[in-house]
């Protein structure tokens, strides 16, 4: 059995579905294959006893490339924004910095705030950015030794990039904060994060494409510098003018026989394969446990980067009368091996500090460690490959090929637009169609 399509998209994660929806809406015949039985990949949602528990990314940006994509392809965009979206626990107070940003935050924490603000201001000019080798933590040490300030920066790095400030290049952090609009608007989907991916999958099928779940790609064949065929786990052969992979460069190259890709590219993929790790505790209660409508960031914790309250704005995510929460930490180190039991215990210690009598008041739904082949980010920001490959009709999308100093599902939407623009320019549809 064989199938001919214009574009084969491997993986129905964020990058894959942003790409597929744009291409299907532009008139391309698109087939999306997904090995799991649901869309969303590492940013999906599971049902746990009636609770909509996210498997990775918990927020969707509002007003950026994600919403822009949905508007362009006419996909439902039911994202509800908490107000304020995030508060920061500084000392014993929850501080709203949405109106003042860094100035408000740092003024609450340290006498060195003016120096740090000056450093951030200098970074707005290229000559003020540090060398790539300097970590965010080392950059910050030039201005202060204040543990709360270092904790805040560490937890912001963890929340946005899924690595600690010791592992994230300062150049990446400062570029994001000064050029990519930090403290963006964001919200939750009432179905859990999977809701946005279901909306994009519906666009693909509405516009003549197909999304096949529980369907893995076993192999890809390349001839004369182009992908010519994919073989699915079912034995079906798919011929496509273009192939787009959302499973990460490291997994993509494994689909080819030896010798299909040049050694320089394989070496580059190996160098860039730097998966990070996070630990997540999903929990619920019949009482409101944290006095925030959205997310709560922290200045001083052992490990915890943030907590989030879903049900103030999305009560549909929990059974009636229940509240749903998540707490997440970045282990030390977040890249490479670490003691899972010890790091999980440190996260729980932070949760207990934040929510007194936690064991009696809350019900733990799941404890999830994302790492290795299933990480929160396939590449540390700043170490990504480009979406292009040595094969003329093969592109990667997603969090392994992010644009510099970006992360999360927003980065996936960004890479998808860049790749779709390249495909449309190089492989235009026949005029007759």
Tokens 């120096």: give the residue: 115
> What pLDDT score was predicted for residue 105?
76
Whether the Cβ atoms of residue 415 and residue 403 lie closer than 8 Å to each other: yes
Concatenated DSSP letters of 5-44: EEEEEE--SHHHHHHHHHHHHTT--EEEE-SSSSS-GGG-
The pLDDT confidence band at residue 433, using thresholds 50, 70 and 90, is low
Q: Sign (positive/negative) of CA torsion 395, 397, 403, 404? A: negative
pLDDT in tens, 12-47: 999 999 999 999 999 999 999 999 999 999 999 999
Cα distances from 54 to residues 193, 355, 411, in angstroms, run 6, 21, 19
| 86-179 and 276-370: identical CATH topology | yes
pLDDT in tens, 339-355: 999 999 999 999 999 99
> What pLDDT score was predicted for residue 7?
98
For 333, other C-beta atoms within 10 Å of its C-beta total: 14
Q: What percent of the chain has pLDDT over 70?
A: 98
The CATH classification number of 2-80+192-273+380-426 equals 3.50.50.60
Pairing of strands 295-298, 86-90: parallel
> What pLDDT score was predicted for residue 126?
81
Pairing of strands 30-33, 237-245: unpaired
> What pLDDT score was predicted for residue 174?
93
> What pLDDT score was predicted for residue 128?
84
Whether the Cβ atoms of residue 43 and residue 56 lie closer than 8 Å to each other: yes
Whether the Cβ atoms of residue 324 and residue 51 lie closer than 8 Å to each other: yes
pLDDT in tens, 170-208: 999 999 988 876 657 899 999 999 999 999 999 999 999
> What pLDDT score was predicted for residue 431?
66
Tokens 């912001």: give the residue: 156
Domain limits, the chain? 2-80+192-273+380-426, 86-179, 276-370
Average pLDDT value for the chain: 94
Whether the Cβ atoms of residue 331 and residue 167 lie closer than 8 Å to each other: no
pLDDT in tens, 390-423: 999 999 999 999 999 999 999 999 999 999 999 9
> What pLDDT score was predicted for residue 99?
66
User: How far apart, in whole angstroms, are the C-alpha atoms of residue 194 and residue 159?
Assistant: 19
Q: State yes or no: pLDDT of 57 exceeds 70.
A: yes
Whether the Cβ atoms of residue 132 and residue 173 lie closer than 8 Å to each other: no
> What pLDDT score was predicted for residue 31?
98
Q: Measuring CA to CA, which residue among 64, 67, 178, 164 is closest to residue 120?
A: 178
Task: Name which CATH class applies to 86-179.
Answer: alpha beta
The pLDDT confidence band at residue 100, using thresholds 50, 70 and 90, is low
pLDDT in tens, 369-384: 999 999 999 999 999 9
Residue 87 CB contacts under 8 Å (≥ 6 apart), including other chains: 94, 95, 96, 292, 294, 295, 296, 297
> What pLDDT score was predicted for residue 2?
93
Whether the Cβ atoms of residue 178 and residue 124 lie closer than 8 Å to each other: yes
Query: Is pTM beyond 0.85 here?
Result: yes
φ/ψ (deg, to 5) at 205: -75, -35
Whether the Cβ atoms of residue 362 and residue 390 lie closer than 8 Å to each other: no
List, in sequence order, every residue forming a beta bridge with 7; answer none if it has no partner: 30, 242
The CATH classification number of 276-370 equals 3.90.660.50
User: How far apart, in whole angstroms, are the C-alpha atoms of residue 245 and residue 314?
Assistant: 32
**Cα 256 vs. chain centroid, distance in angstroms?**
26
pLDDT in tens, 101-145: 777 777 777 778 888 888 888 988 888 899 989 999 999 999 999
């Amino acid at each position: 059995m064989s199938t001919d399509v214009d574009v084969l998209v491997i993986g129905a994660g964020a990058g894959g579905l942003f790409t597929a929806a744009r291409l299907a809406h532009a008139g391309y015949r698109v087939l999306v294959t997904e090995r799991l039985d649901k869309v969303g990949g590492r940013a999906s949602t599971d049902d746990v006893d009636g609770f909509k528990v996210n498997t990775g990314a918990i927020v969707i940006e509002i007003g950026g490339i994600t919403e822009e994509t949905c508007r362009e392809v006419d996909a439902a965009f039911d994202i509800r924004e908490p107000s304020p979206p995030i508060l920061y626990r500084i000392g014993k107070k929850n501080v709203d910095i949405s109106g003042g940003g860094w100035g408000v935050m740092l003024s609450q924490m340290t006498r060195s705030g003016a120096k740090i603000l000056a450093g951030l201001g200098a970074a707005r000019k290229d000559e003020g950015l540090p060398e790539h080798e300097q970590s965010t933590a080392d950059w910050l040490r030039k201005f202060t030794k204040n543990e709360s300030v270092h904790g805040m920066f560490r937890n912001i790095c963890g929340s946005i990039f899924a690595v600690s400030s010791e592992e994230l290049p300062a150049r990446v952090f400062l570029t994001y904060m000064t050029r990519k609009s930090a403290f963006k608007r964001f919200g939750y989907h009432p179905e859990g994060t999977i809701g946005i991916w279901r909306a994009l999958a519906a666009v693909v099928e509405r516009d003549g494409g197909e999304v096949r779940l529980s369907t893995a790609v076993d192999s890809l064949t390349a001839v004369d510098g182009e992908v010519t065929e994919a073989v699915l786990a079912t034995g079906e052969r798919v011929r496509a003018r273009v192939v787009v992979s959302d499973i990460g460069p490291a997994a993509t190259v494994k689909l080819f026989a030896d010798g299909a890709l040049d050694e320089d590219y394989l070496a580059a993929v190996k160098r860039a394969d730097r998966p990070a790790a996070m630990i997540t505790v999903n929990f619920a209660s019949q009482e409101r446990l944290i006095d925030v409508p959205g997310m709560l960031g922290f200045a001083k914790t052992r490990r915890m980067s943030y907590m989030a309250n879903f049900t103030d704005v999305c009560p549909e995510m929990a059974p009636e009368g229940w509240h749903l929460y998540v707490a997440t930490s970045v282990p030390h180190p977040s890249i490479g091996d670490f003691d899972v039991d010890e790091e999980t215990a440190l996260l729980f210690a932070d949760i207990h500090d934040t929510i007194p009598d936690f064991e009696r008041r809350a019900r733990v739904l799941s404890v999830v460690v994302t790492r290795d082949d299933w990480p929160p980010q396939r590449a540390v920001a700043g170490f990504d490959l480009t979406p292009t490959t040595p094969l003329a009709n093969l592109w990667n999308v997603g969090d392994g090929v992010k644009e510099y100093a970006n992360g999360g599902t927003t980065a996936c939407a960004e890479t998808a637009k860049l790749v779709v623009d390249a495909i449309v320019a190089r492989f235009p549809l026949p005029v007759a169609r």
